[in-house]
Structure 1
Amino acid sequence: MTYSMISHLTCPKCKETYSSDSIQQLCACGSPLLVEYQLDEVRKSLTKEALIGRPSSLWRYHELLPVKKEGNVISFEEGMTPLSKLPVLGKQMGISNLYIKDEGMVPTGSFKARGASVGISKAKELGVKHLAMPTNGNAGAAWSLYAAKAKIEAYIVMPEDAPEITRKEVSISGANLFLVNGLISDAGKIVADLVKEQGFYDASTLKEPYRIEGKKTMGYEIAEQLNWELPDVILYPTGGGVGLIGIYKAFLELKELGWIDGQKFPRLVAVQSEGCAPIVKAYQEGKTESEFWKNSETHAFGINVPKAIGDFLVLDAIYQTGGCAVAVSEDEIRESQGEVAREEGQFICPEGAATFAAARRLRETNWINENDQVVCLNTGLGIKYPDAFDVEAPLLQPYDRLSFSEKR
C-alpha cells in the first residue's frame, strides 16, 4: 500500500504548481504553497472504518500526509489529543456543549509538535541538513527537538523575552539558539538573511509547505472524535494562523472524500489579543489581507504576530465558513485561564485561555447559541508560561500550625 498519496504543491494565489519531490519554499509570486493529494485514489483505498485500530497518532492519516516513505517519519506519537466536554464552565457560559481540544497533551507540550513532526519528516525525506526559523517559543522548541532526532542542524532565532522554558528546550536539544531584542518579525528578518546568504532551509511559518499538514490533523481528529459529525463553532488562537488554515483544509479534504457529506462546516473563529489584532482589524474592515500591527504586545506570546504571511488564507477560511475574528483583553485572558483551572481542573496556556474568553463574549452577544457545539483549542500547557501569572501565598515557619473552620 502506498504510504502517502501526495500529488503536488499548488499556489492558492496564482495557481502555479510545483513538485513535492524537491525543496520548495514560497511560490514565485510570494505566496505560501499548499499540498494537494490524489483524493480520488485516497477515496478508493481508504475508508473511515479503516482508521479503526490504527495507532493513535496523527500518522494514522498517513495517506493524507506528505511523507512518501514510512522510514522517513520522525514521530513521538503526537496527536489524537483529548476532546473533552466542560460541563461546569459550559453551564456558567450558557453553552451546553462546550468542549476543549487539549493540545497541551502532545510531546513538547504544545500543538507545534504536529507541524514539527510532519515538517521535519518531509525535510529529512528531501535531504535537508540545516534549517533556520524565527519563533515566539513553542515552535522553535518543537522543531529543535524533532530536528535533533532527525539529525538536522537547527538555527533558531526568538525574541529575548520568549518564555524561558521554550528557550531551554531549544538549548538542550543542541540547536543553535539566538535571541533578538525585538519581536518575531525582527527574528524573521535575521532568518531571511541567513537563508539568503547561506542557503539554509527556511522553516519559517508557511515558508515551507508541510507544517500546515501536521496542523490540519487537528481537524481530522475533531471530526473523527465526534463520530464524523462536525461541531458548530471552533475557536482558535491566531498568530500565524497555520492551525486555523489547516483545520479548514482538513474539512475541505474530508468533504471531497465524501466523509462529511451534507454537513455545514463549523464557523471558524480567529481569536487574538487586543494588543496584537491584525486579523481582527482586517475582518472588521472586510479586507482580505491584514496590515502590520505596530507596537504589538501580549502575554499570550504565541499570538504576538504583527503580520502573518498567510493572513489571506486565515481570512478566507473565516469568510467561507461564516466565522469571525475576535480580540480579547489581557485581563480577560488571565481571568479565563483561572476559570478553566478552578472550574474544570485544567491548566491551559494563555493562548488557549483567549479562546474561552472569546467564547464567553460571543455567547453574550448571541453569536454563539446555547445549544451550539463549541470547540475551544488549547494550544499548550499552562506550565510553559510560569511568568504569566502571580502566586500569592502566606509564608509559614516550620513550627507554625494551621487551623481551619469547617462548615458542616
Structure 2
Amino acid sequence: MTTVSHLECSGTGKTYPANEVRNLSPDGWPLLVRYDLEKARDGWNRDWISSGPTNMWRYAPVLPVSKPPSIVTLGEGMTPLVRSPRLGAALGAKDLWIKDEGLNPTASFKARGLSCAISMCKELGIQKIAIPSAGNAASASAAYAAAAGIECHIFMPQDVPHSNYIECKAFGAEVTLVDGLISDCARIVGERKDAEGWFEVSTLKEPYRIEGKKTMGYELAEQLQWRLPDVILYPTGGGVGLIGMWKAFEEMEALGWILPGQRPKMIAVQAEGCQPVVKAFAEGAERSVFFENAHTVSSGLRVPKPLGDFLILRAIRESGGTAIAISDDDALSAGAELARLEGMFVAPEGAACVAAVRKLLVSGFLDPSEKIVIYNTGAGLKYLEAYSTLFPR
C-alpha cells in the first residue's frame, strides 16, 4: 500500500512520525507528507496504474493511508482532460486543454483533498472534525464525513453560494454561517476546537488534504502519457492544488516517471478583488500580506491570506510562471464564452483562467504554440447566483 516515511515541517525541515494526529508543526508551519520514493520506485511501475481503481486511489503508494479499509471514497478523481479547439481559436491558443474537476463528487476538486483527509481521520481514530470554508471544501468535508460516520462542524461566510449551504445540511453537518470572510471562520474554529474536541481540517493546517490534491498532477501526467504540458493555469485561493501538483511533479521526477526539467510553468490566477499572491509575486516578496476588503463572486478565490503563500510563490518562481488577477466581469464573460464554444459550464474560478490565457497571450508571456492546461475547479451549476447577472430572467 503506502510508502509513507514521515512528516516534514515546510519551514524548518524537522521531521515527525507519520502515524500521529497532527495539525501544524510545533514551529507553526504546514507539515508535508514524505515517502520512501526509492522503495516506491523499486516496487511500483507507472505501467501498472491503469489496472488500479478508476479513482485517485490508483496512486495509493504515494498517498498516506496505510490500511485499505480506512479509505473513504466516493469515486473522486479521473476527471476528463478535454481538448478545447474552438475556445483556443478564439483566444489565440493552438493547443488548449481543460481539466474539468467539476465532475468530481460534490462537483469540485475539493473532493480529492477531503477524501484523503477524512480517510486519515478514520485511520487515526478521529471522531469529530471542523472546517472553515468558502463553500466547496465545506460540501466535500460534509460528504466524506457522512460516508465515514464522522461528526462534521462547518463554518462558512454568510454569503456563500446557496448550493454549498444546502449540500452541507443535506449531508448532516452542523453548519454555522458567519458574518465575515473565511479568515473569520478560521478564527472561530481555532478558538473553539480544543474545548469542543474537534480536529481541524483547515487548508494546510493538517498534512493530508494536499496529498489528495496532488493527484491532479499524477493524473494529468498519466492522461498525457507522462509528458507534462508547457503551462498550467490554476485558480488560486488557498492554493493547495497548485502546491500539491508541484509536489507531485517533484515526486514523479524522483520516481523516474517524468524527465528532469519537464515541469510546466505554473500560473496562479486570482480575482482583482482578492489578489494577495499576485501582489506578493509582483513585489518579489516571500510571503503575502492580508488583503483588506476582499471581494469577488468567485468564492473559492476569496482567501485574503493563504497559509501556504510561501509554497505557492516558490512553485511559481521555480517554474518560471507568473501570477495574474482577473476582474469578476471578465471571469464571468469568459465562462459564458467557454460554455458557448465548448459546451462546458464551469465555475467562475475556472473561468478566470480562461480570461487569464487571453491576457497572457496578448502580453506575450504565453506563446500560441504552447500546450496549455486550464484547471476548472468546480461546476458552474454551483454558482447560479453569480452567473445570473449575465442571464437575468
Q: Deviations over 1:42-97 (max 9, x none)?
A: 00011111112222200000000000010000001110100011000101111100
Structure 1 counterpart of 2:334: 336
Work out which of the residue numbers 340, 350, 363 in structure 1 matches 2:361.
363
CA contact (8 A) 1:347 1:382 kept: yes
Distance 1:131 1:262 in 2: 39
1:141-156 to structure 2, matched below 5 A, reads: 141-156=139-154
Structure 1 counterpart of 2:33: 35
Structure 2 counterpart of 1:92: 90
Following superposition, the deviation at residue 343 of structure 1 comes to 0.6
AA of the residue aligned to 2:14: E
CA contact (8 A) 1:230 1:263 kept: no
Work out which of the residue numbers 209, 212, 217 in structure 2 matches 1:214.
212
Q: Secondary structure at the match of 2:65?
A: coil
Question: Gaps spanning 5+ residues in structure 1: where?
Answer: 395-408
Structure 1 counterpart of 2:311: 313
Q: Secondary structure at the match of 1:326?
A: strand
Q: Secondary structure at the match of 2:387?
A: coil
Following superposition, the deviation at residue 389 of structure 1 comes to 1.9
Work out which of the residue numbers 338, 342, 348 in structure 1 matches 2:346.
348
Structure 1 counterpart of 2:289: 291
Q: Relative to structure 2, which stretch is displaced further, 46-55 or 267-276?
A: 46-55
1:67 to 2:97 alignment:
no
Question: Gaps spanning 5+ residues in structure 2: where?
Answer: none
How many matched pairs? 392
Distance 1:149 1:259 in 2: 34
Distance 2:333 2:131 in 1: 33
Structure 2 counterpart of 1:109: 107
Following superposition, the deviation at residue 392 of structure 1 comes to 4.7
Q: Secondary structure at the match of 2:72?
A: coil
Query: Residues 339 and 13 from structure 1, CA distance in 2 versus in 1: closer, same or farther, beyond 3 angstroms?
Result: same
CA contact (8 A) 1:296 1:306 kept: yes
Q: Relative to structure 2, which stretch is displaced further, 356-365 or 46-55?
A: 46-55
Structure 2 counterpart of 1:270: 268
Distance 1:363 1:349 in 2: 22
Structure 2 counterpart of 1:242: 240
Work out which of the residue numbers 48, 51, 63 in structure 2 matches 1:50.
48
Following superposition, the deviation at residue 20 of structure 1 comes to 1.3
Percent same amino acid at aligned positions? 48
Q: Deviations over 1:83-124 (max 9, x none)?
A: 011000101111100000000111100000000100100111
Structure 2 counterpart of 1:134: 132
Q: Deviations over 1:239-267 (max 9, x none)?
A: 00000000000000000001112342100
Q: Secondary structure at the match of 1:387?
A: helix
Following superposition, the deviation at residue 360 of structure 1 comes to 0.8
Structure 1 counterpart of 2:197: 199
Distance 1:385 1:329 in 2: 16
AA of the residue aligned to 2:60: H
Q: Give the TM-score, by structure 2 length.
A: 0.98
CA contact (8 A) 1:5 1:63 kept: yes
Distance 1:205 1:49 in 2: 32
Q: Secondary structure at the match of 1:155?
A: strand
Distance 1:265 1:45 in 2: 24
Following superposition, the deviation at residue 219 of structure 1 comes to 0.3
Q: Relative to total residues, which structure has the larger helix share, 1 or 2?
A: 2
Q: Deviations over 1:248-301 (max 9, x none)?
A: 000000000011123421000000000000000000000110000000000000
Distance 2:357 2:195 in 1: 45
Larger radius of gyration: 1
Distance 2:370 2:193 in 1: 46
Work out which of the residue numbers 246, 250, 253 in structure 1 matches 2:251.
253
AA of the residue aligned to 2:250: L
1:322 to 2:354 alignment:
no
Q: Secondary structure at the match of 1:52?
A: helix
Please provide the CA RMSD for this pair: 1.0
1:115-130 to structure 2, matched below 5 A, reads: 115-130=113-128
CA contact (8 A) 1:97 1:371 kept: yes
AA of the residue aligned to 2:333: E
